[in-house]
Chains A and B, each alone.
Chain A
């Protein structure tokens, strides 16, 4: 069997936050992986590779948002064989990915496991053509329940689990929202965010548990406890993910250790 030279060792680990916006929210996680690895090739990033017959670039992805859900806070880690300037890498990769898959920041990894910091997510759920008052009533019923057993089809068949326990917070501000303007950001022609339909907006904080409770499961729960049946599919966006502050209930920056290092560095200059 032919043998290749051993792969170049990793010299630097970087952490990256990216967004999935507009129509590209319909990319599945696998789709994103392929697109990202091609962007790495196009931008000639000096990737570190795994050993073996089919070497893979060293990229590890943390808890991806479901297909069809937009996100402002997706994270991954990558290892390179030659040191890179994080800000340059950020600009390079962002330019190489299609608009709608946007690289927001790249930082050199500080000690500590990134995946462990991603304890909870903040989701925004827009429900077009649902009156905010109706949504607020459903939210109150859901939060008042001890547990809400929902069903979801998984690879192993229909599964029933509690969608309530993982929910740290669920708010429904009573102001009237307008539909998402993601489409305008994504540069998609012919779509605008105007219109005066009602639109309820929920803000959901969910702890990352097993099985994972997704925004869809909470929506199933709202239907179950209060018969909330949105006539139009919900537009869901992950706004943030990170450590969950037990006292305040806030989801904080998962790259805080990295940012602390960077700011120290800046002060020295």
Chain B
């Protein structure tokens, strides 16, 4: 049965909304396949606005991997802004894909990638606009399987009622395995209906189907146990790990939007995983082990990607890009190849050391040296030991001295507030550090025209990290602490004017904390917030803390738990955590030891350069560290001009 485009109904609405281009598709390198010729059809969503969702690497990769399979079709959909939502509801236009404007409800799978929990209300809105029942239990044979992935799916419990399934870990191979299961089930004539399909997915051991697990609670509100409610379903669901990134050079044909988006560059993931061991960092914990893309693999992706897109900038992505074993050769090789073509290179996420200044200089051979960003994360030496961010103040000052000496005029320092065991004094140290940076900068550059911007984010404890047991700092104390810091910086006559200060208030962090470490009972809160009009919670102009608190009070009134219980409460070693049955490979005992080490201010090295610390991931997942050096170089491209 073919499916009609909703475009004729959408088109008259487009002149009436902001930035209509975001709803029309037609991006370079996008794909529209024949509906009837496809055996399995995916609608992929990044649950935020198009301008944020389109550049998302995860969705872009899966879109291409799936469309490369002859009998598989994948299209994309994004969260629509409230002006469009209103018109769609008035004119009965369902949630649609931007590729061929097909209704999302007609697909086999509705795959949603969550990098952040703040997209949950957008999921509910998209389901509702698509005409898909909000709760998985109410869905019928013709509704898509609602499947989620992304970092937030490492604890999918808060949205367990709304999803049919979750995939944990790397998606490239996982989506193909899911596709195979669906293809076979459809070819057999859909035996056993939706339930049988979900069972087959669960039985693979790599797909979590919440309905097949029961959660029991103790009287005090803690979880008693989580257990499968039918045989053939594993007790724990394992994460997926892609080995050998060179085998997966995606995206090969990156999407180039017509609309303006947040990142407009050719992004190449130079490695996946990070073992620096920063204790606050969920990404570093759940993506182990480190798997590098080779220097030649990177060179090839950049070359092909630039040809396919015409982008003017290359971003070398990873969790800590300067840690690639051949980063200097990569940077030099790419700069040699592309400087003349006016292609910019950028290296987000770098650590604090002098080596990075050399790198940064290499990346800006012809360009303007405006600003460098470093992330000491903790203001005091003590705090940095707690979070295992091994940067001494001396390192930092030496690094910024080199930076200012090389013509850089602005240094941005990123910190967190609300870390475990933190006191006012730890945070006030940030001001001291910034002052020293400015003093050093003036000395080295001989100029007063230098700046240091201090940027502060609130810490939110995340599942599958050593801080998963930690109490989150309440928003009042966070705000007071930041206020004190701001006052100290402002009051400084000598340096205050050279120091910029950027921070967010603590309230959104509490909601993020509720959603990050919540369990199935939090689903009621999410639903209530969405019903009350909650959308786009990652956007300050749409986010309402009061709405979240009001809805949480009401929805959790009959439970022995509340928002504080989920956020500011410290957990014990023996508490069953809502995500314990999702296996990131990390050994829970190791995480606990690391949590204790944090409290004792004991640091842990990076296992790339030292013996194994038994975090458990490699043996549990059957994976290994894959790093260079390969010893190869990027040769100049022979360009025929």
Contacts and interface: CB of A to CB of B under 8 A. Distances in A.
A232 B367 contact: no
Contacts of B258: 24, 27, 31-32, 34-35, 98
A31 B8 contact: no
16 contacts: A2-B365, A23-B25, A24-B24, A24-B26, A26-B21, A27-B258, A31-B259, A32-B258, A35-B28, A35-B256, A38-B310, A38-B311, A38-B312, A67-B21, A183-B11, A233-B12
B307 A2 contact: no
Interface string A34-45: 110111111000
A148 to B, nearest CB: 22
Contact of A42 (B16, B23, B309): B309
Interface in B304-319: 306-312
Contacts of A40: 310
A30 interface: yes
Given A1-B407, A27-B21, A100 B26 contact: yes
A23 B311 contact: no
Contacts of B28: 35, 38, 98
A24 B8 CA distance: 14
Contacts of A1: 368-369, 407
A223 to B, nearest CB: 15
A189 interface: yes
B14 A54 contact: no
Given A32-B258, A99-B26, 10 more contacts: A1-B407, A2-B407, A23-B7, A38-B310, A39-B310, A68-B15, A189-B5, A189-B100, A190-B8, A191-B11
Given A26-B20, A38-B256, A42-B310, A2 B364 contact: yes
B309 A67 contact: no
- A4, A40, A189: residue with the most chain B Cβ atoms closer than 10 Å: A189
A186 B28 CA distance: 14
B76 to A, nearest CB: 15
A83 interface: no
A28 interface: yes
Interface of B: 4-5, 7-8, 11-12, 14-16, 19-21, 23-28, 32, 100-101, 256, 258-260, 264, 306-312, 342, 364-369, 407, 641
A74 B239 CA distance: 53
Interface string A1-20: 11010000000000000000
A67 B264 CA distance: 21
A22 B312 CA distance: 28
Nearest to B24: A23
A100 B407 CA distance: 45
Contacts, number: 98
A190 B26 contact: no
B36 to A, nearest CB: 12
A51 to B, nearest CB: 12
B14 A53 contact: no
A42 B260 contact: no
Contacts of A49: 342
A188 B5 contact: yes
Nearest to B264: A34
Contact of B367 (A32, A53, A98, A99): A53
A31 B12 contact: no
Interface string A183-222: 1001011110000000000000000000000000000000
Contacts of B342: 49, 55
Main secondary structure of the interface of B (DSSP, over half): loop
B11 A23 contact: yes
Contacts of B641: 46
Contacts of B308: 42
- B5, B11, B12, B407: residue with the most chain A Cβ atoms closer than 10 Å: B11
Given A2-B364, A24-B258, A190-B4, A41 B11 contact: no
B368 A53 contact: yes
A190 B4 CA distance: 6
A190 B310 contact: no
- A35, A37, A40: residue with the most chain B Cβ atoms closer than 10 Å: A35
Contacts of B369: 1-2
A49 B259 CA distance: 24
Contact of B21 (A28, A46, A55): A28
A189 B342 CA distance: 38
Nearest to B13: A233
A31 B260 contact: yes
A42 B254 CA distance: 13
B5 A190 contact: yes
Contacts of A54: 367-368
- B26, B366, B407: residue with the most chain A Cβ atoms closer than 10 Å: B26
Contacts of B4: 190
Contacts of A37: 310, 312
3 tightest Cβ-Cβ pairs between the two chains A and B: A190-B5, A38-B310, A41-B310
A190 B101 contact: yes
A2 B367 contact: yes
B307 A42 contact: yes
A189 B366 contact: no
A189 B15 CA distance: 20
A124 to B, nearest CB: 16
Nearest to A32: B258
A23 B310 contact: no
A24 B257 CA distance: 12
A38 B309 contact: yes
Contact of A191 (B5, B14, B26): B5
A2 B369 CA distance: 9
Contacts of A67: 20-21
A181 B166 CA distance: 43
- A2, A96, A99: residue with the most chain B Cβ atoms closer than 10 Å: A2
B367 to A, nearest CB: 7
B7 A188 contact: yes
Contacts of A2: 364-367, 369, 407
A100 B258 CA distance: 12
B9 to A, nearest CB: 10
Contact of B366 (A4, A41, A46, A100): A4
Contact of A23 (B15, B19, B26, B260): B26
Contacts of A27: 21, 258
Nearest to A40: B310
A68 B5 contact: no
B14 A68 contact: yes
Contacts of A55: 342
A35 B256 CA distance: 8
Contacts of A190: 4-5, 7-8, 100-101
Contacts of A38: 28, 256, 309-312
